[in-house]
A and B are shown apart, each in its own frame.
Chain A
Amino acid sequence: MKQENSKNIIKLIRGGDQLVLRKIYDENREAFIKFSRKYNIEKYDAIDIYQDAIIVLYENIANGKISDLNSKVSTYLFAIGKYKIFQMHRDNSKVELTNEFFLEDENVYLDVNLYNEKLTNQQDLLNKYFSQLGNRCKEILKLFYYEGYTLDEIINILNYSDKKVLKSQKSRCMRQLKDWIKKEL
């Protein structure tokens, strides 16, 4: 992707534009599968890793770690993917690794870990009750905790009259969750 275009891409991805995501996905997929083959990764696993790499890319864009795509999208994807491949080999220790792989060496500074940790009891409950929240609550919490928007930005996105209203709405959502969990404990 060209430099002048990268801000737009980020904006579109943050805005949830699936066409852009799809395009990025399609554009790099074949090359990534080919790339994985060098590391003895079967196609099926390669696709799984590739999807995780896309998720990592998405999240790092969402939380502002990547605010400008200095490198090409593919550079990020391949660096993340390579990291995941090394991780997988290390975990399975099928292949003797001749050297460790560090993302920093590729000039990519990202959070790359997904799915690893098990949920604690409280997290399990939160998981259960989050899905029972109303859509408005879910939307606010998602935008704030996942998409990385500030409350000031959310005011505009969700059309709130002012920050106070949004803040009290958000705290009502949280109180609801806490009440539900309290009943379980």
Chain B
Amino acid sequence: MLEMLFNGFADVISIGNIGFLVFGVMLGTVMGAIPGLTATMAIALIIPMTFYMDPVRSLIMLIGAYNGGIFGGSISAILLSTPGTPASAATSADGFALAKQGKAMKAMKMALLASIHGCLFSTVILILVAAPIAKFALKFGPGEYTVLMMFSLTIIGSAAGKSVVKGLMGGALGLLFSMVGLDPIAGIPRLTFSIPKLTGGIDLVVMLIGLLAVSEIFVQIEKIARGNIHAHLPPSATSADEKVSLKEWKQSYKTVARSSVIGCVIGALPALGPTLAAYLGYDMAKRSSKHPEEFGKGSLEGVAASEAANNAVCGANLIPLLAFGVPGDLVAAILIGAFMIQGITPGPLIFREAPHVVYGLYAGLIVANIVLLCITWFSFKWFAKVAQLSTTIIYPVVIMFCLVGVYALNQSLSDVWLMLFFSVLGYFMIKFDFTPATFLIGFILGPLFERNLRQALLISQGSFDIFFASPITWFLWIITAVSIFTLIRRNYRDKKTHKETEAERLEF
């Protein structure tokens, strides 16, 4: 196998291939960074170019774009508090907080390092153990997924911040809005008020940009109204703020490693996606961190956690793709198309029919990461400088970017109006101290939870046994219980400390 891998590298490393790879990575990163445009779009645009290229070249260009895209989202998340892609939503809170402290470059560098680590890690896992992992992933049926989703729903509690109820309420609203569209089982429209546009459901990106990005800008605009105009981001105070020191890396390494594993697991299970991985990684990191209170206010660990997880999905979602031809997410689905144009059918036979393509792909993944590292590392300084312009320029420009990005997604103006709706909704949420991120989590998990729940009940003919049928489900129930328990305990402890500090204050 090692020999095949070397051959793969030999295939990949040619001037032409590297050239296209660089192009793919750059295009992906730029599109990822523009709010509204996603890595998926970048790939969809590149596909026609690959019609007449050889398989290895086209595939690594696509992979490069995907990697670049997922990472690019974190650039705007950190600099503008606007996740460029949904996968970076978890990075924006801490990333932006760090940027406001003048540590923008540090945050970006950490994001990059964590992302690369995540992707390389999952690539190695992919190369070594794709087949067994895929077989294991098969055992996850609707019953198992449902319990997994229940576990994921408990994350809402911890993403909530001060008030658990508000967090849950946000999540519930997210669940509600996620049901707009077609019923996953019966295929009939729900909550669409007979508006044809809505039967397709609400696009995640449209909602994300409106709810998290534009709404945040509206809130900031209030500050401008008071005459509080300033440079959008302060320049870095010390040169240490521009780098990630070895010590910081070591401190965060455990988190990065854990998040990479989480990303692999989520990626290997079809249909879950990098956004969920990012939030799970972030949540896990917060729970086991020594400084949980920093999360949300500028924890470097938090940035590392979410970025490592979401990029780990890149490599991992090729696992079900190569093993069964089942895409892990939308991007992998498009990759299937790319494979097929080349006359290769992803699935169990690919190792027999076209192994050199597979190993070329592996090698390409590794090289793509290296390319990403090299290209973006040096561009950060420039990005940070741009972000230091006054808010009066930045906000209008960002708003315009969001409008274009969302429009370009589906060439639909109604999407843009929908985005505006969510930005108003998000504005009110932020004003009343609800965390929009909980809405996002509910929105993503809603369809996954509902579909699997109802599929499971169909299979079991209505019996709830199916949720306790296999060891996997037991394990998942246990971690769900643990999660709820720690949530309650933390809430209780928080309330106690809150009361104590109140008491202390009153004594003065």
- Report if A and B associate in a common complex: no
The residues of A with any CB-CB pair to B shorter than 8 Å are: none
The residues of B with any CB-CB pair to A shorter than 8 Å are: none
